[in-house]
């Protein structure tokens, strides 16, 4: 068996050798849920059971919060010198790098994404952890301008106990985006992974213990949102809730925060991102490939997926043909095959939901140009689907599908393109393809979106904040901005005797 697999057979051999940690991680120990309940983790590419995982609920949340608070008050982490926190987090990043194939494989088995995509996620997760670790001792407080009789200090302090609720589509990458800045700032963190992809989070807990994170500083509670997730959100002793997921659940979490202790709530929610292609853009073949990848990467299960393609009508017919050709080369395959561009849909429920949207698109009069079928094989696979002639009134043009379904719109003017792009409840991401720098600056400023990609899709690195506006949420992941969100400001005014 290769420890650095590169072929389908080698990945299959590594998968066959894996053992899974399935218990919750609470106060430096792996334990069963208090209730003894479990849930089934299923491989969506085969339909086969991977493991029975501890299903935590309110009792487990209460225990974890108690230990997280105790750890915070002890100060082993919260009051540790920043340079020493940095060393521990860098060690964790190194351990993740040493086990990257295993961690990537866990995400692939658990939620169906192609293994090469999972490896890319791991690189992003490791990079995030290293970036936030290196930022710890570079985020300064302030000295206020005062007269000689006073000294004004603005101090940054950790919040306390942070509950991070992460989604299933990018399990470890989203986990890193949440926990890295929260831990770097000195908080105790309780992670609730999605019940659809818990296995890599539990392996991460083993590595965190090996890296030297103190007891109670990092804990993992697998389980469901309506049980353990709700309990964390309602806890009077959780100081901050960080969430990535649907807008509907994000709204519920804000209500729970209001019903409890007014904890901070940072949300990265849904998206229906527009991707605008103007007739003056060059290299249409390459742009079409990017437009296809923007929706079909990760099976379309991406919060910033470019699911609305807005094309200037003078090039629309030719451009859509190029997108269709690109989509043909992005068909789903075995997630363990490094040559597969798409893998399996995460589970039967999501699979059925996507197919229902496709049927609705046809019924509402959109033109199905390609795809739209479930593969006749074990597991949950759907071919890349392209609808043309979509209007803003159609369901597939407004609602987040979270699957490989592209809705193509036409426009005749810049004003019309901007209006169509902004005609959405969401504002997570937007794309713009043009060679006209004046147009780029005009349109970029008017797009109602937390991030705009110009002549690329999903560009950026750890120096750039990630988040949305409108019903796409309010917080920011990545960059120094996220590190600042997990700390609070304390003003200290000192009177000096003359």
* Catalytic residue set: 268, 303
HEC per residue, 152-219 = EEEEEEECCEEEEECCCCCHHHHHHHHHHHHHHCCCEEEEECCCCCCHHHHHHHHHHHHHCCCCCCEE
Q: Transcribe 64-101 into DSSP letters.
A: HHHHHHHHHHHTTTTTS-HHHHHHHHHHHHHHHHHTHH
The DSSP annotation for 14-53 comes to HHHH-----SEEETTEEE--TT--EEEEE-TTT--EEEEE
Spatial distance between the Cα atoms of 211 and 96, rounded to a whole number of angstroms: 10
- Rg (Cα) of the chain, in Å, rounded? 23
- Cα→Cα distances 152→158, 257, 489, Å: 20, 32, 13
Q: Please answer whether residues 109 and 51 qualify as being in contact, where contact means their C-beta atoms are separated by less than 8 angstroms.
A: no
- 254-263 burial: b if 16+ Cβ within 10 Å, else e: bebbeeeeeb
Judging by DSSP bridges, how do beta strands 264-268 and 240-244 pair with one another? parallel
Q: Please name the helix (run of DSSP H) or strand (run of DSSP E) that holds residue 312, with its range, or none.
A: strand 308-312
List the structure tokens of 259. Answer: 């019903």
The 3-state DSSP class for residue 385 equals strand
- Residue 225 is given by DSSP the state I
Backbone angles phi, psi at 399, to 5 degrees: -95, 145
**CB distance 429 to 271 below 8 Å:** yes
Angle (nearest 5°) at CA 180 between 475 and 425: 20
End-to-end CA distance of the chain: 75
100-111 helix and 115-135 helix, angle to the nearest 10 degrees: 120
Report yes or no: 370 and 36 within 8 Å, Cβ to Cβ: no
* CA angle (313, 318, 323) in 5-degree steps: 105
> Taking every pair of C-alpha atoms in the chain, what is the biggest distance, in angstroms?
84
């Amino acid at each position: 068996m290769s420890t650095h697999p590169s072929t389908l057979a080698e990945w299959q051999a590594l998968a066959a050798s894996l053992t899974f940690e399935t218990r919750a991680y609470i106060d430096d120990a792996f334990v069963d849920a208090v209730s003894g309940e479990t849930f089934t983790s299923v491989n969506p590419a085969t339909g086969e059971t991977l493991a029975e995982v501890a299903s935590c609920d309110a009792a487990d949340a209460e225990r974890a919060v108690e230990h997280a608070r105790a750890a915070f008050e002890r100060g082993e982490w919260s009051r540790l010198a920043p340079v020493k926190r940095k060393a521990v987090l860098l060690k964790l990043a190194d351990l993740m790098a040493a086990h990257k194939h295993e961690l990537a494989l866990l995400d692939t088995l658990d939620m169906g994404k192609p293994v090469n995509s999972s490896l890319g996620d791991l690189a992003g997760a490791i990079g995030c952890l290293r970036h936030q670790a290196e930022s710890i001792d570079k985020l300064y407080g302030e000295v206020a301008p005062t007269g000689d009789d006073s000294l004004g200090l603005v101090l940054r302090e950790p919040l306390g106990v942070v509950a991070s609720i992460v989604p299933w589509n990018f399990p470890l990458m989203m986990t890193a985006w949440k926990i890295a800045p929260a831990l770097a700032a000195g908080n105790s963190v309780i992670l609730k992974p999605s019940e659809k992809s818990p296995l890599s989070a539990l392996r991460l807990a083993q590595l965190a213990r090996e890296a030297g994170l103190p007891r109670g500083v990092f804990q993992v509670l697998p389980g469901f949102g309506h049980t353990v997730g709700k309990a964390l959100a309602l806890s009077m002793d959780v100081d901050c809730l960080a969430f990535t997921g649907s807008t509907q659940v994000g709204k519920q979490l804000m209500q729970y925060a209001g019903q409890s202790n007014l904890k901070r709530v940072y949300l990265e929610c849904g998206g229906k991102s527009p991707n605008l292609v103007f007739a003056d853009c060059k290299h249409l073949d390459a742009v079409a490939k990017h437009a296809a990848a923007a929706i079909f990467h990760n099976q379309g299960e991406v919060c910033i997926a470019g699911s609305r393609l807005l094309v200037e009508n003078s090039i629309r017919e030719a451009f859509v043909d190029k997108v269709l050709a690109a989509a043909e080369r992005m068909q789903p395959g075995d997630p363990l095959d490094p040559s597969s561009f798409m893998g399996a849909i995460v589970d039967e429920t999501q699979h059925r939901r996507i197919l229902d949207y496709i049927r609705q698109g046809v019924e509402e009069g959109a033109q199905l140009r390609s795809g739209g079928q479930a593969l006749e094989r074990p597991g949950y696979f759907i071919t890349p689907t392209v609808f043309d002639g979509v209007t803003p009134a159609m369901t597939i043009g407004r609602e987040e599908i979270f699957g490989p379904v592209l809705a193509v719109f036409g426009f005749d003017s810049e004003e019309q393109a901007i209006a169509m792009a902004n005609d959405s409840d969401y504002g997570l991401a937007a794309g713009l393809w043009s060679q006209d720098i004046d147009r780029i600056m005009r349109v970029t400023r008017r797009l109602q979106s937390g991030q705009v990609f110009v002549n690329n899709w999903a560009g950026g690195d750890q120096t750039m904040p990630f988040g949305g506006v409108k019903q796409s949420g309010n917080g920011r992941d990545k960059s120094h901005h996220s590190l600042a969100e997990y700390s609070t400001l304390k003003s200290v005014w000192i009177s000096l005797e003359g």
